Amino acid sequence: MPSPGRTRMSIAGVSRCRVSRSSILTGPGAAKDGPGGDNVARSATIPLLPRRGGTRQCRGRGGLLRRANQTIFLARWSGTENHTTPALRATPPRERRGDSTFPPRRAAERGEAQSHSRSGATMCSHLGQRAASGGMNKRFDAKSAVVTGASRGIGRAVALRLAAEGAAIYLAADGTEAELEQAAAACRDAGAPEAFWGVHDLAQAAGSETMVATAHARMRRIDILVNNAGVRVRKAFGEFSHEEFDRVVAINLRAPFFASQAVVPIMRAQGGGHIVHMASQLGIVASRYGAVYNLTKAGLIQLTRAMALELSADGIAVNAVCPGPVTTEGFLAGRNPGELEQRARDVPIGRFGTAEEVAGVVAFLCSKDAGYVIGHALVMDGGYVVH
């Protein structure tokens, strides 16, 4: 294990270090969350009935020509392999023009960034990426984002969403090189102009600072930081060891704290940025067998408020997302169908969330659409907290 603040070079020159996964389970937003459920919205081409007297174009400035065949997105109900809890997918947003805050990067910077392609990075040209993204909004053109815990689950979904909207991506995780490379390739296919990855142990002192420095060296700017990595130990209160306590606090709370401290000078020099912490519903309500996890998520919510108060004057917007149960591999692991069905019934809308839904909220908080949202811990849990 490398000493604090040092990295061990992996294949292709990517900085990396490791952390033991023994007795560690994942929770909402965890670094090792599995992929969200395969609840993919289907599209269908439905012929519209002709108007009486034939079709005609709506007149006036706001008129819209309705064609005989119009593609609409239908939400569908589906369940995971081991249970029948339905998940309703939301309608994708309509395409609109991008609203990038920052000007395009200088050609010299782009050329320099391309020189890092051999260092564990997945690169692609701008050609064809618009079509690959399926018409997704381009709110993050010319912006760069760092996402932790990005090899799978919520973190991967967030990276894909930001990539689809035009952001260059740095994916950080204590995962395998294969997982990160696959996630980076998926970001490239979604529309990211650049996709880099690095294996980082955020439990190590100075691990967060090393990650930020590496990402900045690759992308030359950081406009968005999503602190998503997290771990959870499920034990009854009274059974936690000092080592377990220290590890959960280090990854869930200390790492976001120091990653944010490291990125703030970069964002200040650029004129602003967005930081999103992945907190949890369990930072607001209590749960059994998760005392340490719960306290770290509550701490992350308060950290969000403190940072927002101090940094908003610098143009740095800080917010948090508090998901409820989300159908990632980590959440589903070890739970039987009966338990899952009961938990779904406890949610007012009768289902769990998806990683893609969380990613959509993160993208909103990082966009100009959320320009007046500061220091907020946005709960998305199907109504559980409010009932």
CA trace torsion 294, 353, 200, 334 (10° rounding): 70
Nearest of 215, 179, 251 to residue 30 by alpha carbon: 251
Contacts of 40 (CB under 8 A, 6+ apart): 89
Determine whether 110 is exposed, middle or buried from the number of CB atoms within 10 Å of its CB (0-12, 13-18, 19+).
middle
Please answer whether residues 344 and 315 qualify as being in contact, where contact means their C-beta atoms are separated by less than 8 angstroms.
no
* 170 has catalytic annotation: no
Give the 3-state secondary structure of residue 232.
strand
Q: Where are the beta strands (DSSP E) in 253-348?
A: 273-278, 316-323
Nearest of 211, 208, 224 to residue 275 by alpha carbon: 224
Which region, left, alpha or beta, applies to residue 211 given φ > 0 means left and ψ of -120 to 50 means alpha?
alpha
Helix axis angle, 207-219 relative to 255-270, nearest 10°? Answer: 30
Catalytic site residue from 170, 289, 293, 372: 293
Please answer whether residues 113 and 142 qualify as being in contact, where contact means their C-beta atoms are separated by less than 8 angstroms.
no
Which letter does DSSP use for residue 177 in this model?
H
Contacts of 15 (CB under 8 A, 6+ apart): 7, 8, 9, 198, 199, 200, 210, 214
Q: Which amino acid is at 12?
A: A
| Residues labelled catalytic | 293
